[in-house]
A and B are shown apart, each in its own frame.
Chain A
């Protein structure tokens, strides 16, 4: 027993780890089942209450209910994040490859596009659609052939063609960054869970949106236009008073059914001005008590030392706050010309939690981004700090001078599609439209802000060059087919092994269960995605996994024929089969690696399961089956090989 101990510990550890990694998947499955049940009930209720309601309206209401269930129990989302992910082909969703339309960009950037230019551009676009040549180069060549310098349309007269070409290429590159930021921002707002947005090459963006049932909506998210606004941040006193009203409503201190709402809450505030500090100070009461009395302030945390009234909200509480802010009774106490907006990215990390900043800003923007003509990030040579220089057109500059002049010392939030990227303090009146923004932590942050500032005015024209959508029903069918095939494949192969090798075959069949468990556990652990070809990979692995057992058993049979004892046969059977097993698995692994490198989406999922499957099946055949054999040999249990 002693020499087996280490291996048994290893096996138990592998099994426990796999189960641990798969446990959130199980919880997620249970959660979804529960939510589905609740939603099904609610649907019946809604339809009963209003038989004429349209399907879309029911869906919207159910979506809101689902969101609120998820918002109130953050563990649902946590389980989901840790659970085994299903690929777009299984859960339904959309994969889109976008490419920046350089032709459109050139047209927009051109100073005074005349007919010759349009003709040249059209020719270049046509040529580029069938070759790999870049449109910028083609346009430059064609203009040169006509004896026209590029500076007639771009840059200024002193710049030579190569300089302008490199600037134009940079603009195209910038456009990709802008489009990515706009899309990321939108997708974030829309609440798509686990989106992937990545850049491929210099001009492409791959977007994967799982679970999008309505592709039209998804396509709207992917458009390259965005709204950039400059909004004044409200005074701290004002903000705090609004927050207190919200807090009161949420705590149930104020009845909101009558028109007396405003006076009541005002009265309440004036009633105990001195008590204010005490009640918002969490040290005086337990956390639970505080959360009950001040639900809003318990999740929207104010920094007591700060001069501002920006609240910090945990990433997982953000949806909850949004839901609260949309409640009609809460809407009633929020003054008309103000709104709460969140920072685009979490700003503070404390105890491993991400916190978003929540601002209270004017609803009407002072200015919109259409007036921004350029924005660049750089390092200020004097202070060595990253800065963003922003330029505006003459029209915007005049407004900007007035706005900054009237609001010195106040903050202006830079809002893109409803989220705040930065809220710099106005240092003084800015005439001429050239502003400098500082206070960024690093150059990267400054570059992001520059991208955002340009997003409002400059287009980021993108074309969809590849699009794959799988509806949820087809995905569900695939899951069912895949599950049934896996089960059946397992039964057929196990049955065959048991018939052919009897007791030894049973060991092989049993270790197959471990192989499947390890594959799923490893997929969950690697945060990998299970796709339909991935399921095919598991089924294929079932067929291939027993190969190692077959090689070993055949070898043991051979050794036994030479008259060796059972123990000696088992030993040399295992050791002599090693080389063939390892060699054949490595060749398959090599192709798996190449497939992973060259494949996309579902095919990568297949390659990954195949590779994990190979490793798992080797472990099962060489370690688990071996331990069972050794144990049986030791205990003198007969091993029949058929």
Chain B
């Protein structure tokens, strides 16, 4: 079987059309980026996220009504995987101040249930813990373990035998669990995933991701400049920029448009972008490799014709190599499960734009440069 054999198309003559196509894709994407903004996942925003797996199918809006008045403000809720999974997320790092008394009351009630009439004094409260002073070491030990069994995050302030202080940690996820389990008692749930990312960590991860993307582009620029001419390397890297920017734009434009596809930028998506950078340059290399070879054979041929010929001759393999990857990624997109969906989506569309830009943008840029500066490109 053969495709795209012996084609003779003047691609470069139509390059203005491709510029227009790229520019409009770019504009559509980035206007939505500026209007609606990019949606970052918990990795970059920080916050708390838990995924609950119920025994029976649940309705997200019912759960929403349950958590709306537990004092956590806006809790984002969506389905996760099938009908029984719910993802709850809040950007809060710690319990809000006005909620602390309610939480303390809650703990006190639990203590009184275990030891009615116990003299447990709260000596310190922070947004993440409550410290109690108890009458004697034995009671402290017992209470620590009994409260723990009751579902609280208890601990001793010190392991010394004379210790009489107990600390109870209070976290957003715990508060959410507590309240939900009371309300949906007929449909018990399990926590299957829990993430908590501090604000500093989120910012660091963001910086790292941006550094990594630029480093990859730089690495590729240097390698290709070394293997080809600098202008080829530049053409390839501009094409890569083009791919990354258009895919990011697409992210913003398609966010929330396709049901079941959660397009948030998280760590794995950044990994997908980096892979995209590494992979989509492959097709460019195939074309450039042929241009390099032809430049050595046909020393006098017009550059535009030569590039056209090279693109045409390598067209079938460019499409085929991208095609096999698309097949694999498509499988991943459909069957890879919820966790990998955004990752596969990035690779899927990135591979398409990558192939397109390799053929139509990267080579055209080399030609533009040669025309503008009247330079002869040689090897």
Contact = CB atoms under 8 A, between A and B. Distances in A.
Interface in A560-618: 576, 579-580, 583-595, 597-600, 602-603, 606-607, 610
Interface string A89-130: 100000001000000000000000000000000000000011
A464 interface: yes
A591 B219 contact: yes
Given A539-B328, A580-B289, A550 B320 contact: yes
Contacts of B156: 225
Contacts of B332: 485, 489, 536, 539-540
Interface residues of B, number: 82
B223 A590 contact: yes
Interface stretch (A155-163, A216-224, A261-269, A348-356): A216-224
A642 to B, nearest CB: 5
A480 to B, nearest CB: 8
Contacts of B324: 493, 496-497, 543-544, 546-547, 550
A583 B289 contact: yes
A594 B268 contact: no
Given A473-B190, A489-B331, A539-B331, A368 B271 contact: no
Interface in A410-448: 417
B96 interface: no
Contacts of B323: 496
A481 B337 contact: yes
Interface in B298-348: 313-314, 316-317, 320-321, 323-329, 331-332, 335-337, 339-340, 343-344, 347
A229 to B, nearest CB: 9
Contact of B158 (A370, A488, A585): A370
Interface in B205-230: 205, 208-209, 211-212, 215-216, 219-220, 223-224, 227
Given A226-B159, A227-B159, A583-B227, A590 B192 contact: no
A373 interface: no
A339 interface: no
B331 A473 contact: no
Interface in B157-205: 157-162, 169, 190-201, 205
Contacts of A488: 331, 335
Contacts, number: 238
A504 to B, nearest CB: 12
B277 interface: yes
A587 B337 contact: no
A584 B236 CA distance: 12
A493 B209 CA distance: 31
Contacts of B194: 215, 467-469
A456 interface: yes
A542 B328 CA distance: 7
B267 interface: yes
A225 B212 contact: no
B258 interface: no
A280 interface: no
B192 A470 contact: yes
B20 interface: no
- Contact residues of B: prevailing secondary structure: helix
Given A473-B190, A540-B328, A603-B267, A468 B321 contact: no
Given A554-B317, A583-B285, A485 B271 contact: no
Nearest to B331: A489
A586 B216 CA distance: 12
A461 B284 CA distance: 53
Most chain B beta carbons < 10 A, residue from A466, A473, A546, A589: A466
Nearest to B209: A598
A613 B111 CA distance: 56
Contacts of B326: 543
Most chain A beta carbons < 10 A, residue from B224, B283, B325: B325
A499 interface: yes
Contacts of A607: 271
Given A370-B160, A532-B340, A469 B325 contact: no
Contacts of A369: 160
A4 interface: no
Contacts of B325: 540, 543-544, 547
Contacts of B227: 583
Nearest to B2: A642
A474 interface: yes
B279 interface: yes
B192 A471 contact: yes
B256 interface: no
Contacts of A456: 159-160
Given A97-B201, A547-B282, A595-B274, A471 B331 contact: no
Nearest to B128: A463
A492 B327 contact: yes
A161 to B, nearest CB: 27
A497 B324 CA distance: 9
A543 B162 CA distance: 64
A216 B148 contact: yes
A465 B200 contact: yes
B108 interface: no
A595 to B, nearest CB: 5
Contacts of A225: 155-159
Interface string A529-560: 00011001001101110110011001001100
A485 B331 contact: yes
A342 B65 CA distance: 54
Contacts of A474: 51, 53, 192-193
A484 interface: yes
A543 B328 CA distance: 5
Interface in A192-222: 215-216, 219-220
Most chain A beta carbons < 10 A, residue from B159, B191, B279: B159
B13 interface: no
Given A533-B343, A587-B285, A602-B268, A468 B331 contact: no
A532 B2 CA distance: 36
A197 to B, nearest CB: 18
Contact of A550 (B53, B317, B339): B317
B271 A586 contact: no
A324 B302 CA distance: 86
A471 B155 contact: no
A230 to B, nearest CB: 13
A442 to B, nearest CB: 29
A592 B331 contact: no
Given A215-B194, A584-B282, A594-B212, 14 more contacts: A225-B155, A474-B51, A481-B340, A485-B335, A489-B327, A489-B332, A532-B339, A536-B336, A547-B321, A580-B286, A591-B216, A591-B275, A598-B211, A610-B275
Interface of A: 89, 97, 129-130, 132, 215-216, 219-220, 223, 225-227, 368-370, 417, 456, 459, 463-471, 473-474, 477-478, 481-482, 484-485, 488-489, 492-493, 496-497, 499-501, 532-533, 536, 539-540, 542-544, 546-547, 550-551, 554, 557-558, 576, 579-580, 583-595, 597-600, 602-603, 606-607, 610, 642
29 contacts: A219-B169, A225-B159, A227-B159, A227-B160, A370-B162, A467-B195, A471-B191, A473-B53, A474-B193, A477-B337, A492-B327, A533-B268, A533-B271, A546-B321, A547-B321, A550-B324, A551-B286, A558-B313, A580-B289, A585-B282, A587-B220, A587-B223, A588-B281, A590-B223, A594-B274, A598-B208, A598-B212, A603-B267, A642-B2
**Which 4 residue pairs across A and B have the least CB separation, nearest first?**
A543-B328, A591-B278, A227-B159, A481-B337
